[in-house]
Structure 1
Amino acid sequence: MAILPDAARCGNDPVHRSTRNPRGDRCLYWLLLPLLLWPVVGQPAAAATGDAVPAVLRQRVAELRTTGRLELQGVVLGREDILAEFYARRGYQPAWDDPRRVAGLRTLIGRAAEHGLDPEDFFASRLQVLAQSASGPAARADLDLLLTEALIRYGYQLHFGKVDPTAMEPAWNFRRGFANDADPVSVLAAAVAAPSLQDYLESRLPGGPWYRQLQLALAQYRSIVAAGGWPVVPGGPVLRPGDRDARVPVLRQRLRVEGDLPADPEVVDTESFDAALAAAVQRFQERHALARDASVGARTLEALNVTAETRVDQLRLSLERVRWLADDVPDTYVVVNVAGFRVGFVRGHELAWSSRVVVGRAARQTPVFGGLMTYIDLNPTWTVPPTILREDILPKLRRDPGYLARENISVIDRNGRTVDPRGIDWKAYGRSIPYTLRQEPGPANSLGRIKFMFPNRYSVYLHDTPAKALFDKPERNFSSGCIRVDDPLALAELVLDDPQWDRRALEAAIATGKTRRVQLRTPMPVLLVYLTAVADRSGAVRFYRDAYGRDAALLAALNGPVQLRLPAVPVATGGKLGPASL
């Protein structure tokens, strides 16, 4: 398991400027990590460019090594060991003397927007000017160095993402490293020497099918923006099926843009809210986690009038969040999209099962992190967590001492003995008590009849619930952070993957009323993610409200200056992300 250095140890500031230090060689090694999975091929042959350009390259590299910085065309380079060693190994011969290779890299950079990235992060405009005007040795050497730097940046952003996830997600613990025995300089040479740089790099996109589906959706919505977007549906009274209203034609036009309303033959009464339009509204509502009532009320109207540009940004953010995961997910795993209120079981990169979930409310958000599920408990007890005890239970006890008996909650002292709660003056305690409160197994237990344990410091897990009615809500952020599963027995069958524990056996064990722990034969990776836009193989694109208010900060960072930083605390699982539509 590779432990990656943080930005400070690598000497990188927001414009990735570095200073010379004894750790430089080791730290800067990691900055080419986005290329490390790419196979190494032979060293490219140096072109016969004479001695002038190599001499300038040698001079530039010497300056970089001596000062730890080199400014070219307004760009500050600061990875002296990688660039220096790359050029030293090739005898300071230029790497980009073949115009076809330069054109290939520039084409690749020009298509960065297909990944939701900014071509200017890779010097698109500077390279265009310099490529047309670089006639002397100095200009040609500068162009060569900038092209190499652009390739390093592109590889970094494509694999790791542009934004440091730990700055956005405090609980982030996914590994984003590579095999630590690879030589980045040799891999860089292999990429430069590839017959088609574009094919070579894009064949190694992160995220598998899920990433590509998001790319297709991004292209679709960028086309909508280019065509003028969609019309704004005017406000007014709730529109319901059967109504006649002057706003209905605009609603029809709006729903046709995204394909929710097919382009059927001309409607005779354009102001009539007919059955076809009602079905289109329901399709739109389903894609946006809204109540599927076919009526255009305040929430549906709000979603209809979110701009196409905003939807493009949501897709860009999802691509970035998938890049953060890179290759850190195996082909079989459980994934919860907190923003979409869905859980899925992915096997062989294919979504095998999906169900509704309830996640944490805004004040007690479900964290984004990964873990390993190791066992499930049938007929579990529930030990009241400190936050719920302090903020929820104690106020109730002060008002109603009989609450514990009704909820089948036992009071355990520090010696493990059960205490009669009627002898405790709950009003005498402030924010904590010298007791543990434990809810005993039963149909009213807050965890229901089954819980799925992937030990973590947040005390977050998946579980059943007696509050089944909440699953019918379109937005389901009601819990204190844990994830309540609508069909937990189906999930249990999948993660146990044991013929002895089919649904009938699970139901029989639960019927005994006894608490029983069942170990998984193979630990199951669990990923809690936050994606406000997803796309599936059918082409359906779903958008979710940013209930936790996380998109704005990430969008600002994604549109901001380049910062090359690597996570410091990895968790190894290995594999690729599958195409779960969650």
Structure 2
Amino acid sequence: MAFLVLVAPLGVFADGTGVAAKPLRPFPMDDVGLAQPLPVPLEDALRASPPRVSALYVRRGGELAWQDRDKVAALVDLLHALDDEGLTPADYRPARLEREAGDALDASVDEAARARFDVLASDTLLRALTHLQRGRLDPGEVYPGWEIPVPPPELDLMAITRALKAGEVQRVLAMARPATDGYDALRRSLARYRNIVRLGGWPLLPVRDTALRPGDVDADVALLRRRLAAIGELEVMAADVAHYPDVALEAPAPHHYDAELVEAVRRFQRRHMLDDDGIVGPRTRAALNVPAAQRLATIRANLERARWLSGTLPDHRVTVDVPGQWLRYRRPDGETWRTRIIVGQPGRPTPVLHSSITHLTLNPTWTVPPTILREDILPQLRRDPGYLAAHEMVALTPQGQRLDPWRIDWWRPGAVMLRQRAGPANPLGQLVLRFPNDHLVYLHDTPSRQLFRRPQRALSSGCIRVEGVIELARMLFEDTGTSRDLMDLIAGGETRNVSLARPVPLALHYWTARVEQGSLPSFRPDIYDRDDPLIAALDRPVVR
């Protein structure tokens, strides 16, 4: 029995064309009844098409897929449904398909024209499915320096073929959609916020000299109720006595900032990384007044990020959400441990990458990174070289030889390294979790633990400070079978590296909108201004 190996695209360019190829599973020719070459009109129509389109017709044994007007109409409906995924249906030109179907499926049209239309429809379908599964944009073009490879699309051509034969075009869409809870939750939020926008958005709270506080009676409280009810906090909405006289006594007073409304505001504040004090001051009011259309665009941006990562998520044990400023460790037994973190400030971003935690440094010294040396410490040294001694630092050559700080021209220091000894004042604290990367970043302890109490913690120079990092290290020792006593090693005071018995996969991601545990979406600050370029690229028409 002869076998045929097909190729499918490995990733996509911004316009949806293939960028590489990988072999698909061989299958017997008899499975598709392919005993003869494809019909000549179809072969001619396929010459300029991506390999994935040819593969589809080989799987179909050369049979055309779109010679029924009802199927074409279903495909057009499918393309319009991409709006529900945060994609732009017009990018796939459904109107052109409808127009050309009217001509190509006429009984008087020759086989070549029918084949050309059929290939156009199949190419449109597979391009749309690839975009749905792995993203429409090339992340490297939106974010220079993007390091996470977009996995190749996993489109089951045999299943697609069977669904097309059965006329189940909508089922094809479900086959390609990223199968993650996070993606589905964002899709539901997209529908909610799109409806809010259609209805005209939500009321804006006026600027005022005083904050709204629990217990206040104020006309603005009624606006606050309407604003929160618009996103689903329906229990705070006061009833209209004229329409609902029987429930007037049970409904909240519209202008009274009562306990139930306070709790709704506190939930809103937590979802937006604000102090959850229930007081509507300038920052809370600003978050409430972000237009619904802007929130909708943020959800679309994060749906695209989810598509880029849809084939990479399950294996990561340690996940860092940079804008959300938390870390989650998924243990082998299914338990999840979560903690607060401090991430890079604007201008010194924490990168987005995938790696693995390989070892720990206990009682670490701190070699000052180039950016901190240049921007933070050199200005201090130019005023007073005694800064080093006051901070338990030494100046070293690249070979590790100690230098006299009073003999260095700190305006032109050359290749000088600064190192701070281990101890209570060391900014890395008692231990560092290290993972290979080109950014010299790591997870580490900190002596400034009071900073974890802040709701927004983009304060570092790119590395990630972890609250409870010693507990995280202890779990990593236990879960990887690393047979060392962590606390005894730390208590010894010696600076030393300890390798984990097995590497632990790590992901650093950037989500400015997330939905957790079936709740309303949480919107985080776009610390590094990455949403606007992504949204602009999604809105830019595809030129074909």
TM-score range, shorter chain: 0.7 to 0.9
What is the CA deviation profile of residues 306-347 of structure 1, one whole-angstrom value per residue up to 9, with x for unaligned ones? 122221211111111011112123434211121211211235
2:148 alignment partner in structure 1? 174
Q: Confirm whether residue 97 of structure 1 aligns to residue 67 of structure 2.
A: yes
Q: Is the 8 A contact 1:36 1:187 kept in 2?
A: no
Q: Is the 8 A contact 1:29 1:184 kept in 2?
A: no
Q: Tell me the amino acid that sits aligned with residue 235 of structure 1.
A: V
1:526 alignment partner in structure 2? 506
Q: Confirm whether residue 459 of structure 1 aligns to residue 440 of structure 2.
A: yes
Q: Distance in 2 between matches of 1:183 and 1:344?
A: 31
Q: Confirm whether residue 206 of structure 1 aligns to residue 178 of structure 2.
A: yes
2:129 alignment partner in structure 1? 155
Q: Distance in 1 between matches of 2:42 and 2:520?
A: 51
2:106 alignment partner in structure 1? 135
2:94 alignment partner in structure 1? 124
Q: Distance in 2 between matches of 1:177 and 1:527?
A: 15
1:39 to 1:192, Cα distance in 2 relative to 1, 3 A = farther
**SS across alignment from 1:247:** helix
Q: CA deviation at 1:532?
A: 0.6
1:324 to 1:36, Cα distance in 2 relative to 1, 3 A = farther
Q: How many residues align?
A: 518
Q: Confirm whether residue 337 of structure 1 aligns to residue 309 of structure 2.
A: no
Whose RCO is larger (CA < 8 A, sep 6+)? 1
Please show how residues 465-504 of structure 1 align to structure 2 within 5 Å: 465-498=446-479
Q: Distance in 2 between matches of 1:41 and 1:471?
A: 62
1:535 alignment partner in structure 2? 515
Q: Is the 8 A contact 1:162 1:562 kept in 2?
A: no
**SS across alignment from 2:323:** helix
**SS across alignment from 1:437:** strand
RMSD of equivalent CA atoms: 3.7
1:347 to 1:119, Cα distance in 2 relative to 1, 3 A = farther
Q: 2:371 aligns with which of 387, 407, 411?
A: 387
Q: 1:218 aligns with which of 171, 185, 190?
A: 190
Q: Is the 8 A contact 2:332 2:479 kept in 1?
A: no
Q: Confirm whether residue 425 of structure 1 aligns to residue 395 of structure 2.
A: no
2:3 alignment partner in structure 1? none
Please show how residues 108-507 of structure 1 align to structure 2 within 5 Å: 108-132=78-102, 134-136=105-107, 137=109, 140-178=114-152, 189=161, 192-193=164-165, 196-206=168-178, 208-237=180-209, 238-260=211-233, 262-263=235-236, 266=239, 267=251, 269-347=253-331, 352-421=336-405, 424-426=406-408, 428-430=409-411, 432-498=413-479, 505-507=485-487
Q: CA deviation at 1:283?
A: 1.0
Q: Distance in 2 between matches of 1:490 and 1:173?
A: 29
**SS across alignment from 1:243:** coil
Q: CA deviation at 1:284?
A: 0.7
Unmatched tracts of structure 1, length 5 or more = 18-26, 47-52, 66-77, 565-582
Q: CA deviation at 1:461?
A: 1.0
Q: Is the 8 A contact 2:360 2:432 kept in 1?
A: yes
What is the CA deviation profile of residues 92-141 of structure 1, one whole-angstrom value per residue up to 9, with x for unaligned ones? 54222355644553343232122211222222222234445532425644
Q: Distance in 1 between matches of 2:335 and 2:286?
A: 31
Q: Tell me the amino acid that sits aligned with residue 226 of structure 2.
A: Q
Q: Distance in 2 between matches of 1:528 and 1:507?
A: 27
Percent identity over the alignment is 39
1:71 alignment partner in structure 2? none
1:256 to 1:466, Cα distance in 2 relative to 1, 3 A = same
1:373 to 1:37, Cα distance in 2 relative to 1, 3 A = farther
Q: Is the 8 A contact 2:52 2:126 kept in 1?
A: no
Q: Distance in 1 between matches of 2:59 and 2:312?
A: 32
Q: Distance in 2 between matches of 1:42 and 1:345?
A: 48
Q: CA deviation at 1:501?
A: 6.8
Unmatched tracts of structure 2, length 5 or more = 1-6, 240-250
The more displaced of 126-135 and 463-472 is 126-135
Q: Is the 8 A contact 1:379 1:515 kept in 2?
A: yes
Q: CA deviation at 1:349?
A: 12
What is the CA deviation profile of residues 332-367 of structure 1, one whole-angstrom value per residue up to 9, with x for unaligned ones? 421112121121123579781222111111111112
Q: Distance in 2 between matches of 1:349 and 1:176?
A: 29
**SS across alignment from 1:452:** strand
Q: Is the 8 A contact 2:324 2:512 kept in 1?
A: yes
Q: Tell me the amino acid that sits aligned with residue 478 of structure 1.
A: L
**SS across alignment from 1:152:** helix
1:89 to 1:377, Cα distance in 2 relative to 1, 3 A = closer
1:350 to 1:280, Cα distance in 2 relative to 1, 3 A = farther
Q: Is the 8 A contact 2:183 2:306 kept in 1?
A: yes
Q: Distance in 1 between matches of 2:388 and 2:237?
A: 60
Q: Is the 8 A contact 1:105 1:151 kept in 2?
A: yes
Q: Distance in 1 between matches of 2:333 and 2:293?
A: 30
What is the CA deviation profile of residues 437-467 of structure 1, one whole-angstrom value per residue up to 9, with x for unaligned ones? 1111112111111111012111011111112
